[in-house]
Amino acid sequence: MKKLMLILDNLIKCFAYGALLCTFVIVGIALFGDFGKGEANIGSFQTETFNEGWLLEYNDTSSDISLPFVCDASVGDFITIKNTLPADLTDNSSIMTRSTLEDMYVYVNGELREHYGSEDSKLLPYFLPSVYMVTSLTSDDAGAEIEIKYNVKSRGVINEIGLGHGNNTWFAILKKNISADITTFVVFVLGFLLIVIAAIMQRFVSEYRPPYYLGLLMVDIAIWMFSESSMKQLLLQKPSLSSIFTYISFELLGVLTCLFFDAVQNRRYHKIYQTIEAIVCIQLMVNTILHITHVLEYHQTLISSHIWLIVELAFVLRNVAIDIRSKRIHEYRTTAIGMIGFLIFSLTELVVYYLSDVPVFGRFVSVGLVILTIATVIQVFVSQIRVSREHTNEQKKMLINLIETVAGAIDAKDEYTGGHSERVGHYATVLARAMAKDYDFSEEDILRIHYIGNMHDIGKIGVADSILNKAGKLTGDEFTLMKKHVDIGAELVIGMEGSIAGLLDGILYHHERYDGKGYPSGLSGEDIPLVARIICLADCYDAMTSNRVYRKRLSSEEVRTEIGGVRGVSLTLSLLRYL
């Protein structure tokens, strides 16, 4: 019946795993399969590109260009691009383009239709955050001249322009950036959960400090990625404020990264990390004051943040190299792999920022963050397993010391059987090792039986010395009291059963008899637990081969004859072949 239940359990698990795998496959087909017929029509979100036929006017020169385009203009210059709108425009048409820190002005037939510039409000920074700007058009604008002017503040980047109906130009943008937006959301949620779980767990286990700081780092990176995403305009009532929190969150990357690495490396390099943290904090405060007072804006001081971030990453690599040489890396080997991956992708992010005209923020750093998160979580589990093993080994050592102390105390109490407990433990070990192949005993099982042998008479601590050390035969009442030592012993070790399996059985039942005439429960045959039968045989063997006040020790041959010939002997006769 038990085997049937086990088979049924395995079948249910296999079915559940298979069904779950099928759902993943079906979801994949639903996402990427294109079977056309039979599905409900959802209409068209199609947009057109409006990137050809543009005329660039700059510095009294003009040239034909295709978008996107980077103009070699100086900061403060104005760039103008001109084109003719399609002749088939309908009402509710629109064009969309993205600014890259530049002020933008859109004219149709000389009329200003849309404007995005820092002069609109004194509260806006000079370097406006990059946004998408939509300009509504009607059928009356068909064939009209469109003119877009840029006030160059950074790189002179002219982005692609999309042409669509109503607001469906947003659909193409959101679909293009959906992977980055989902990544941002996942990083934020995972970081938040990591903070909560680690904050609770680190009250009890110090190993959770690195995940706590990693959670803070993930949330901070998610905020930075969100500030650069296409979703900010749809979710924020005042997206221009992203120009503030994007730089604050980026500056904080250095501090949070140092806190994380400092915790991972057990604060061995705390002074170095603390110094960098202090410098970055001071830098953030100074840059904020400069920004508020309009002396220098965050964008203009960004290079200093990048420099300190590179310095910090260099020190992290230095510290990891030192730990590798000193062989301390084993403490966080898995996390170190994630750390190196995170550093490589972070540096790649910086390189792409400076080399690309229109960088996609967070693409590389998020990959590095995923690697670091997986490595950190694995490291926590590995560390917990190591700590658990060390704790278990320490408990075992304490238990062994206790057993040896108790065994010594028992033998010291009984002046006629000194060393008896230790010898029973030894004989039980010899017997268990001989039986190992037939009964599938592991080394751990053999060691466990040895400890039980040492502890089998622990209950004699509760028996009066006058009975234990009586030279003659015990009376009926005295023997009744003597028999209670198994019950007393069982009560003493009931809390230790989880540490040494079979300990309770070995102590409580080692005086049961094969014919059912033993004590305390009158068990017979193989109803007597195997460990109790082994201890019983070892106990009998030591009693027969030790000198007692009422007789001298028996020879080995006499012991074999005695055990094999006495009816009702308190052990399974099938164990005799191991003596």
pLDDT tens digits for 457-516?
A: 888 888 787 777 777 777 888 788 888 888 888 888 777 766 677 888 888 888 888 788
Give this prediction's pTM.
Answer: 0.62
pLDDT, mean of residues 280-299: 86
Q: What percent of the chain is modeled with pLDDT above 90?
A: 11
Question: pLDDT tens digits, residue range 392-422?
Answer: 777 777 777 776 777 677 666 665 556 788 8
Whether the pLDDT of residue 116 is over 80: the answer is yes
Whole-number average pLDDT of the chain: 81
More confident residue, 121 or 395: 395
More confident residue, 85 or 310: 85
CB crowding 407-426: b at 16 or more within 10 Å, else e? beebbebbeebeebbbbbbb
| Tokens at 274, concatenated | 């603390």
DSSP letter string, 227-271:
HTSTTHHHH-S-GGGHHHHHHHHHHHHHHHHHHHHHHHTTTTTHH
CB crowding 360-389: b at 16 or more within 10 Å, else e? bbbbbbbbbbbbbbebbbebbeebeeeeee
The three-state secondary structure class of 55 is strand
Whether the pLDDT of residue 571 is over 70: the answer is no
pLDDT at 35: 61
574 pLDDT tier (thresholds 50, 70, 90): very low
The three-state secondary structure class of 459 is helix
pLDDT at 2: 61
Alpha carbons 506 and 473: distance in angstroms, whole number: 26
- DSSP summary character for residue 119: G
The strand ranges marked E within 352-443 are none
Count the Cβ atoms, other than its own, within 10 Å of residue 453: 30
Superfamily covering domain 414-578: Hypothetical protein af1432 (1.10.3210.10)
The three-state secondary structure class of 375 is helix
Whether the pLDDT of residue 568 is over 50: the answer is no
pLDDT at 360: 63
Q: What percent of the chain is modeled with pLDDT above 70?
A: 86
Query: Could you tell me the residue ranges of all domains in the chain?
Result: 48-175, 178-382, 414-578
- DSSP summary character for residue 511: T
Q: What is the distance in angstroms between the CA of the first residue and the CA of the last residue of the chain?
A: 36
| Tokens at 521, concatenated | 């429960």
Residue with tokens 């010395």: 465
Residue 524 CB-density burial (10 A; 0-12 exposed, 13-18 middle, 19+ buried):
middle
User: Which CATH number describes the domain made up of 48-175?
Assistant: 2.60.40.2380
Question: pLDDT tens digits, residue range 56-98?
Answer: 999 888 999 999 998 888 888 899 999 999 998 888 899 999 8
pLDDT at 15: 86
Identify any residues that bridge with 97 across adjacent strands, giving them in sequence order: 133, 161
